[in-house]
A and B are shown apart, each in its own frame.
Chain A
Amino acid sequence: MAAEMPVRRSVVVESRPSALEQSCREILSALEAGGFSQDDIFAVHLALEEAFLNAVKHGNRMDPTKKVQIDYTVNQEKVEISMTDEGPGFDPGRVPDPRVGKNLYRPEGRGLLLIRSYMHTVEYNERGNSLRMVRRKNQSVPRCGKAAT
Chain B
Amino acid sequence: MAAIQPRISVAYTNDATVIAFTDERILEDIDVRALREAVESVVEQAPRIHLVLDFRHVKFLSSAVLGLLIRISKRVYEQEGELRLCNIHPGIYEVFKITRLTNVFEIYEDVERATRSFSSRP
Question: Which A residues form the contact surface with B (CB < 8 A)?
Answer: 17-18, 39, 42, 45-46, 49-50, 53, 98-99, 104-108, 110-111, 113-114, 117, 143
Residues of A within 8 A of B34 (CB): none
> In the complex where A17-B28, A114-B63 touch, is A107 in contact with B71 (Cβ < 8 A)?
yes
Which of the residues B71, B99, B103 comes within 8 Å of A110, measured between beta carbons?
Answer: B99
| B contacts with A: majority SS | helix
Bound state CA distance, A80 and B62, in angstroms? 20
Given A17-B29, A50-B63, A114-B63, decide whether A105 and B104 contact each other with a Cβ distance below 8 A. yes
The contact sample of 14 A-B pairs, CB cut-off 8 A, is: A17-B28, A17-B29, A39-B91, A46-B62, A46-B95, A50-B62, A50-B63, A104-B101, A104-B103, A105-B70, A105-B74, A110-B99, A113-B98, A114-B98
Q: How large is the interface on B (under 10, 10 to 19, 20 to 34, 35 or more residues)?
A: 20 to 34
Interface string of B27-61 (1 = CB under 8 A from A): 11110000000000000000000000000000010
Known: A50-B63, A105-B104, A107-B68. 17 other contacts (CB 8 A): A17-B27, A17-B30, A42-B91, A50-B62, A53-B64, A98-B99, A104-B100, A104-B103, A106-B70, A107-B66, A107-B67, A107-B71, A108-B67, A110-B67, A113-B99, A114-B98, A143-B98
**Closest approach, in angstroms, between the C-beta of B98 and any C-beta of chain A?**
5
Say whether, besides A42-B60, A45-B60, A117-B98, A110 and B28 are in contact (CB < 8 Å).
no
Q: Chain B contacts of A106 at CB under 8 A?
A: 67, 70
In the assembled complex, which residues on chain A have CB atoms less than 8 Å from the CB atom of B104? 104-105
CA distance A17 to B28 in the complex (A): 6
**Are A99 and B67 interface neighbours, CB within 8 A?**
no
Provide the bound-state CA to CA distance between A46 and B89, in Å. Answer: 15
Residues in A whose Cβ lies below 8 Å from that of B62:
46, 49-50, 53, 111
Cα distance A108–B71 in the bound complex, in angstroms = 10
Min CB–CB distance B97 → chain A (angstroms): 9
> A144 to B21, alpha carbons, bound, how many Å?
30
Instruction: Please report the C-alpha to C-alpha distance between residue A32 and residue B30 in the assembled complex, in whole angstroms.
Output: 28
- Contact present for A107 and B70 (CB under 8 Å): yes
Question: Once the chains are docked, how many angstroms separate the CA of A113 from the CA of B62?
Answer: 12
Nearest-neighbor residue (CB-CB) of B74 within chain A: A105
CA distance A49 to B62 in the complex (A): 7
CA distance A53 to B31 in the complex (A): 14
Interface residues of B in 64-114 (CB under 8 A from A): 64, 66-68, 70-71, 74, 91, 95, 98-101, 103-104
Which of A49, A98, A104, A110 is the one whose CB lies under 8 Å from B27?
A49
